[in-house]
Each structure stands twice: as C-alpha cells, then as structure tokens.
Amino acid sequence: MHPLEPLTAAEIRQVTTILKRDRGVGDTWRIASIELKEPAKDVLKKDTAQREALTVCWNRADGQAYRAVVSLTGDQVLA
C-alpha cells in the first residue's frame, strides 16, 4: 500500500480501537474526524513512512475537544 493511500475502513476501526484501549475513549465521546496524517516529503522519499491517522474527538461529559495522532503501524497513540 502506498503511504498516501486513503485510510481503509479497517484502519478507521483500528484507530477507534486504539483510542478506546489506550485513552479510555468511551460512550461519552464523539469522534469528529479521522484522516490520514501525511508523512513528510523527506520520509516519503526514503520509503520508510509509517501509516498514521489524525483524529479529532470530544468528550461530551466535560465539553473538551482533543486531537490525537495514532500510529497504525505501531498500534499506539503517539500524541
């Protein structure tokens, strides 16, 4: 798969699973968006790009919005 291919349905499900497992995102949370985080050009040229997703979600319980970078390759939340 090319590093700039859009996220697949399976990868989107993987992002939500990682967020639930690692950050406790549960029933009071809403995910506003999940999109591909494009790798930097220098990394892309080296062909060592990792698949990452940028996610925006908010907790309805406290009204706070959060942004996360999720590594699909590493199966973890990076930021």
**pLDDT over 80 (residue 46):** no
Provide the pLDDT confidence category of residue 2 given band limits of 50, 70 and 90.
confident
**pLDDT over 80 (residue 14):** yes
Confidence (pLDDT) at 76: 96
Higher pLDDT pick, 62 / 44: 62
**For residue 49, what is the DSSP state?**
P
In the block, residue with structure tokens 């979600």:
57
Q: The pTM is what?
A: 0.88
Confidence (pLDDT) at 64: 95
For 43-69, letters b (16+ CB in 10 Å) and e give eeeeeebebbbbbebbeeeeeeeeebe
**pLDDT over 90 (residue 1):** no
